[in-house]
Amino acid sequence: MEAQPTDEDRQQVEVTRVVDGDTIEVSPQVEGVEDVRLIGVDTPEVFDGEEPCGPEASAFSEERLAGQQVELEFDEERTDRFGRPLAYVYLGDELYNETLVREGLAEVATFPPNVRYEDRFVAAQDEAQAAGVGLWDPEGPCAAGPNSLDPSPDPTPSDPVPQPAPPDPIPPPGRDELLEAGGPSAGPVPLMPGGICATEYPIRHGGACYAR
């Protein structure tokens, strides 16, 4: 059975701005904070990485709530970890949090102890899923999102880019190019600055210098 809210659990405000689908700004502020987060629902993001249907959820809330006089109803826990007030939003007798879920623009996201209307929200989500709307429409704008019933297949891997064959190894200089006695005195020695060989090692071969 749902707990009945008291007068202390309610506040009349005007929606001065819609931040996104589930966050609004109100006046007068609630305990000094203008941002209010809707309880029990989660709409796709439009900030920090836009998600499919995020813009649609925000536009829907903008159309329905901006400039409206609404009533906020609070539950057991009044603020989230960011210090924003948590509330159920009423447009007249309409529980707007529930409307978002029924339209398929939000998922149920209840966290104890704020579970006053969890059963209603779950029932609304079941209706949205059965109707295949919003997040549950595999052909709609939310189809590419994480909640889609028909997730996009993995992209087909592209053909590998041909890589050039490695150059043939540079053969060492022949016997006639080395000092007959052999040994370290024949080279190789590194090139001098400017890419030239020292007089004692005049044969340049494979990036090194050798004696005759």
Note whether 110 and 18 are same-domain residues. Answer: yes
Is 120 among the catalytic positions? no
63 is catalytic: no
Q: Please identify which of the residues 10, 17, 78, 84 carries the catalytic annotation.
A: 84
The active-site residue out of 37, 64, 102, 116 is 37
For 206, other C-beta atoms within 10 Å of its C-beta total 12
Q: Which of 40, 50, 43, 51 is nearest to 22 (CA)?
A: 43
Catalytic residue chosen out of the listed positions 25, 34, 45, 71: 45
Helix (H, G, I), strand (E, B) or coil at 86: strand
Chunked into runs of 10 residues, the chain (212 residues) has average pLDDT values of 68 98 98 97 92 94 98 97 97 98 97 97 98 94 55 45 58 44 60 73 72 72
Tokens of 68: 């409206």
Structural domain count of the chain: 2
pLDDT for residue 176: 43
What is the dihedral sign for C-alpha 59, 63, 64, 67?
Answer: positive
Which CATH number fits the domain that encloses residue 79? 2.40.50.90
* Overall pTM > 0.75: no
Taking CA atoms, 31 is separated from 65, 79, 86, 184, in Å, by 21, 10, 11, 86
| Residue 212 a catalytic site member | no
181 and 86, same structural domain? no
| C-alpha to C-alpha distance for 67 and 30, rounded to whole angstroms | 17
- Asked, for residue 45, whether it belongs to a domain, the answer is yes
Say whether both 98 and 181 belong to one domain: no
**Per the domain annotation, does 167 fall within a domain?**
no
Segment 86-145, tens digit of pLDDT: 999 999 999 999 999 999 999 999 999 999 999 999 999 999 999 999 999 998 888 754
Q: Which residues contact 31 (CB under 8 A, 6 or more apart)?
A: 78, 85
